[in-house]
């Protein structure tokens, strides 16, 4: 028998999470969406990612973070769950840093994608 699993994350900002998924080429729906699971069971999530096999992946707010919700037995993504979350988390961090630094008057002057997958950002802020 299969069931929904909830995987904790450190993702707290919905716009950064949505931007991260978009960057990764993941097609998603926003809003209060049903996530389809085993034997027609559903759970509601703020982000739904449909899979071709009819079992969905979602991100649901649990009061402190967006947790990944999925029936892991029916996971049908190119990446494993851990690698998927790792990539989402990296892009989420990227967008969060850009948002927070822009709010404080910084601008990106240099951006470099390193061979190890990390991203190097150089920011500057002019003051009077």
Would you state the pLDDT for residue 2? 56
Is residue 127 included in any domain, yes or no? no
Instruction: Give CA–CA dist 73/62, Å, rounded.
Output: 22
Q: Looking at residue 81, which CATH number applies to its domain?
A: 3.30.310
Would you state the pLDDT for residue 126? 84
- Per-10-residue mean pLDDT of the chain, 128 residues long, equals 85 97 96 90 95 95 96 93 96 95 92 90 86
Is residue 59 included in any domain, yes or no? yes
Is residue 46 included in any domain, yes or no? yes
Sheet of 29-36, strand order: 5-7, 66-70, 57-61, 42-49, 29-36
Range of the domain at 90: 5-94
Is residue 102 included in any domain, yes or no? no
Is residue 89 included in any domain, yes or no? yes
What domain count does the chain have? 1
């Amino acid at each position: 028998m299969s069931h929904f699993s909830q995987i904790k994350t450190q993702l707290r900002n919905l716009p950064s999470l949505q931007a991260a998924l978009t960057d990764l080429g993941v097609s998603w729906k926003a809003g209060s969406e049903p996530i389809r699971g085993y034997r027609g069971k559903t759970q509601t999530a703020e982000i739904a990612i449909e899979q071709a096999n009819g079992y969905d992946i979602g991100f649901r707010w649990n009061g402190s973070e967006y947790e990944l919700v999925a029936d892991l037995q029916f996971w049908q993504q190119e990446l494993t769950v851990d690698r998927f979350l790792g990539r989402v988390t990296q892009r989420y961090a990227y967008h969060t840093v850009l948002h927070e630094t822009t709010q404080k008057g910084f601008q990106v002057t240099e951006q470099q994608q390193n061979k190890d997958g990390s991203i190097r950002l150089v920011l500057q802020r002019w003051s009077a």
